[in-house]
Structure 1
């Protein structure tokens, strides 16, 4: 089937579909969420759960967001996972009524989709489960109205993505990480006709040795995203997701300072000062004499105790900053404990962008301020200083008084 033939498959029904009615009885739609990636660049957050299940959207995982949006369109939802992670996703069957499929051994997004038994549907929505959309249902409706289609995102530099070459609204070519400068990139959300499963049988490995869906998007309509979008591939991407979520959530009046608060009101002990926007999960305990600055998310069961300041950070479920701590521009995973007087440093003396090591290479985070990324279950002893860009592995212990730079492996016992 040629690209032009692919572009015409299913165009007529969807072009007549009202954007307010994605459940048209004339159409049978299924959805596949690709969630089999290992999330290596998100380490150490992914040492204790898969990336799509991290609660990065103010307490909600990206996978949950996708499922809830897709439920407005179809009940036929399949989540593709890798065999090592099946146990983490089992509850989705009972909670949301989705199906699980295990990715076959071959690598790539094309191989992931090929792992699915073709559903009885005319059209299939396929989405990368680690993509954040600020208004997912809106974007899905727009894609369905132009199907078969692909979500396009306009960025300042296409060099780190698959650049889309678009003519007359249709994709003519996808160039992987070989172009630079502004342009449109593949947004990781597609609506394919049912013929996609036959086309997958003809798919060949790419230059990277992977079976890639991007080889099958030629001829699809390019639908430019109308709201916020983020490819969540690195821990500091969570900060952008938080800010976009605050823009679309409905806030509450803040009894403890300026700006709005979101979620549930915490248990407050004594005097505290909160500068919104700030998100509180259930069962958060705050104070006395705690200071929470803007763009902070304190998830379920977090404790922020006396003389603690938190600034532009996400603190995940059950973690504790009990007294005399500073945590700024950081991501702290679940069940982490900071000892008294332990802090994160978030600014270099030379004020240059903070660098970290990803897959063996030093890379800039693009952030002048970045504190620490701390994995689940870590224990930070008293009077510890975590330098800018430090990553502390899951279940590791940092002994008292240490100054920590670089990466601490999972389960390590770090002494100084």
Structure 2
């Protein structure tokens, strides 16, 4: 295969987002839109990735780390000028270049491959452009091409005639070319246009002037090349991604009771015959095994749910949570960095943090693991088949042995041995008749109140 370099344009200020965060770092399904694009491009195994940056350069370089090289476009004089800045970062001009946009995150790897395959077809076009036909062409640049996809010319909307604007084939901005061709053509692009900018699309017109042909490849789905420039467009991109993921999940054997109310993360993994009830949210890092049930209004992040496990309703699983086969986490239970063993249950109103709960253990309502002392986190270990009574506080670090019982209302600060009963309560004090005498005294006192001092006849309390 020919060596490939991907050049991603991300130098725009993104002013319409009205955000301190760089536009291409805004998340879709919990993942920066730039990372969605880079993941697709990575399927083509590029030898080099160069990101053209401008405003917000420091943010982008921190986010990219070692995954890509960056080059600065300053001042910003158009898309053609942006691609020119990448030339200095290229190791050489061998192979192909694929021009992508950081705010167009949903381009599929298959579409990128089609562009490169067309570039190496028998007629050897100088440039391949990705086109699309939207329902409303709006102010997109137009691609004027014949039925075979050979491009006659390309024109920006502001510079187009009425006849050219009537063409429905629009320019997505994405291009493929041989690296040497791309930079030779760019060197001859001028800025005699309405914006006084160097347009990338003009490389096609320069190639035409050389007597060479260029070609257009059309995407089947215009949503693939939708750009994101505002919060409203970001929300639409999120909706588009979620709709696709819901359809994919159901096609793979997941039951969604109310699909439009379930929100996935980019890396959510679901097994077969999983049931997900309404209003469930998956944050990053969640895996759900076969036959598990996620009940309504639950929130999961960084968690692993085993086969036949049940979560919720109204449960929260935080990072580090592992539910083994058949474990149950019920309503208003929060778990963080804890393992629930096979068949273990915490059915209601419980917080389990930094804990290991053995198989078949039962955690009563209102139980908490007191895992934080204000400076350090400590772990609670509960043995298999242990029974923790309601409203118990387990003060970590502490170990509850196998088959042990902690009586309801206990505050346990020392280890409990296997099979032991631990009851930690103050002695109950009983005073027969005290409550009756108290009520009688207070009623007589209230009946004898001076109306001027308030009470039933004096008004106000």
TM-score (norm 1): 0.54
| Counterpart position of 1:54 | 26
| Counterpart position of 1:200 | 186
> In structure 2, how many angstroms separate the alpha carbons of the residues matched to 1:94 and 1:146?
33
| Counterpart position of 1:363 | none
Superposed, 1:235-254 pairs within 5 Å as 235-249=231-245, 250-251=248-249
Q: Does 1:100 align with 2:70?
A: yes
Give the secondary structure class of the aligned counterpart of 1:155.
coil
1:124 to 1:59, Cα distance in 2 relative to 1, 3 A = same
1:299 to 1:232, Cα distance in 2 relative to 1, 3 A = farther
Return 5+ residue gaps in structure 2 as ranges: 120-126, 206-212, 270-275, 287-295, 303-313, 315-461
Residues 251 and 262 in structure 1, CA contact (< 8 A), matched pair in contact too = no
Give the secondary structure class of the aligned counterpart of 1:130.
coil
Deviation for aligned residue 1:31: 1.0
Aligned partner of 2:156 among 148, 162, 176: 176
Aligned partner of 2:283 among 271, 281, 284: 281
Return 5+ residue gaps in structure 1 as ranges: 1-23, 266-271, 285-289, 301-305, 307-416
Residues 33 and 126 in structure 1, CA contact (< 8 A), matched pair in contact too = yes
| More relative contact order, 1 or 2 (CA 8 Å, 6+ apart) | 1
Instruction: Give the RMSD, CA atoms, in angstroms.
Output: 3.4
| Counterpart position of 2:17 | 42
Deviation for aligned residue 1:203: 1.6
| Structure (1/2) with the larger helix percentage | 2
Aligned partner of 1:132 among 105, 108, 113: 105
| Counterpart position of 2:83 | 113
Deviation for aligned residue 1:123: 1.1
| Counterpart position of 1:185 | 170
Superposed, 1:260-299 pairs within 5 Å as 261-263=263-265, 274-275=278-279, 280-282=282-284
Deviation for aligned residue 1:94: 3.1
Deviation for aligned residue 1:99: 0.3
TM-score (norm 2): 0.49
1:182 to 1:243, Cα distance in 2 relative to 1, 3 A = farther
1:39 to 1:64, Cα distance in 2 relative to 1, 3 A = same
Deviation for aligned residue 1:129: 1.3
The total of aligned residue pairs comes to 255
Q: Does 1:215 align with 2:185?
A: no
| Counterpart position of 2:50 | 78
> In structure 2, how many angstroms separate the alpha carbons of the residues matched to 1:280 and 1:112?
38
Aligned partner of 2:39 among 68, 84, 87: 68
